[in-house]
A and B are shown apart, each in its own frame.
Chain A
Amino acid sequence: MRLFGLFMLIFIMWMMIMIVSYFLVFIIGPLQVNLFYNSTDRLVSSIIKASLAIGLVVVLILLLGILKTKYLQKTLLRN
Chain B
Amino acid sequence: MIYLLDIIIYAIIVSAVSFLSIFLITPAFIKYLNKKGKVVVDYHKPGKPNVPRPAGPVLLIGLVISEITLYFLILDVKIISVLLTTIIAFIVGYIDDVKTMPGWFKPAALILAAIPIIILGSHGDYLGLIFDSAFIPILYILLILSIIPIVGNTINSIDVFNGVASGFIIITMIPLLVSVILFGSTNVFLMGLPLLFGSIAIYQYHKFPSKIFLGDSGTLLLGSMYASLSIVGNSEIIGVIALLPAVMNSFLFLSSVKKIVEHRQVKTRPVAVCDDFRLMASKDSSAPATLVRLILARGPLTEQEIIRRIFILGTFSSILAFISIVIQYSFMMGEISL
Q: Which residues of A contact B (CB under 8 A)?
A: 2-3, 5-7, 9-11, 13-14, 17-18, 21-22, 24-26, 29, 50, 53, 64-65, 68, 71-72, 75-77, 79
Contacts and interface: CB of A to CB of B under 8 A. Distances in A.
A72 B313 CA distance: 18
B313 A2 contact: no
A2 B289 contact: no
B294 A24 contact: no
Interface in B18-50: none
Contact of B237 (A2, A17, A65): A17
A26 to B, nearest CB: 6
Given A3-B313, A17-B241, A64-B251, A10 B131 contact: no
Given A2-B295, A10-B317, A21-B129, A79 B134 contact: no
List of 5 A-B pairs having minimum Cβ-Cβ separation, nearest first: A21-B129, A75-B297, A25-B131, A25-B132, A21-B130
A22 B327 CA distance: 12
A3 B309 contact: yes
B251 A53 contact: no
Interface centre among B295, B297, B313 (most CB of A within 10 A): B297
Interface in B117-135: 129-132, 134
A70 to B, nearest CB: 12
Contacts of B138: 50
A7 B309 CA distance: 11
Contacts of A72: 289, 294
Contact of A14 (B139, B251, B297, B320): B320
Q: Which DSSP category, helix, strand, loop or mixed, fits chain A's interface? A: helix
A24 B134 contact: yes
Contacts of B285: 77
B255 A68 contact: yes
A50 B298 CA distance: 43
A24 to B, nearest CB: 5
Interface in B270-293: 281, 285, 289, 291, 293
Given A10-B245, A11-B320, A24-B134, 9 more contacts: A3-B309, A10-B316, A10-B320, A14-B241, A72-B294, A75-B298, A76-B281, A76-B289, A76-B293
B176 interface: no
Contacts of A77: 285
A17 to B, nearest CB: 6
B330 to A, nearest CB: 13
Contacts of A17: 237, 240-241
B178 interface: no
Contacts of A5: 294
B212 interface: no
A79 B240 CA distance: 31
A75 B241 contact: no
B309 A53 contact: no
Nearest to B139: A50
B75 interface: no
26 contacts: A2-B295, A2-B298, A3-B295, A3-B312, A6-B291, A6-B295, A10-B245, A10-B248, A10-B316, A10-B320, A14-B244, A14-B317, A14-B324, A18-B130, A18-B324, A21-B129, A25-B130, A25-B131, A25-B132, A25-B134, A29-B134, A50-B136, A75-B298, A76-B297, A77-B285, A79-B281
B13 interface: no
